[in-house]
Amino acid sequence: MSWQRDSHGLTLINRHIGSYRDLAYQTAYEAGSDFTRSLLDEKIDSYNTWDFQYRYSKDWGGRIGSTNFSLGVLDMFNEDIPYREVGGRDYDTVVFDGRGRRIYARVLWQIQ
């Protein structure tokens, strides 16, 4: 969702990853110990994150151009990534970003 009024703008983004079957489950189950097998799960749970951004645009006029200021949060609620026993980390590093909540700022100057 995005909203824009005059020089101000807001954006809200939902990122959804549905549950899926872990393709490494069978191999890990066959090679694992009894303890490892007790931790394995064939299904990776679904995952949702919300991102938010505020924007402000300033037109300086003339040859100076305009500047766009942005401030945002990725993974606003710092959601827990679904657990996965297989691999060197406790989540699927190919599918999920393990960095958690991130705050960013950006300034973009455009000469017209």
pLDDT of residue 62: 78
- CB contact at 8 A, 16 and 48: yes
| CA nearest neighbour of 69 among 1, 5, 3, 8 | 8
Identify which of 9-13, 34-38, 86-90 has the greatest average pLDDT. 9-13
Confidence class for position 27, pLDDT limits 50, 70, 90: confident
Percent of the chain's residues with pLDDT above 90: 59
pLDDT of residue 30: 78
Torsion of CA 30, 34, 36, 37, to 10 degrees: 60
Higher-confidence residue of 32 and 101: namely 101
Segment 61-74 mean pLDDT: 92
Query: Residue 31 belongs to what domain range?
Result: 2-110
Residue 19 makes CB contacts below 8 A (sequence gap 6+) with 43, 44, 45, 46
Total structural domains in the chain?
1
pLDDT at 108 over 90: yes
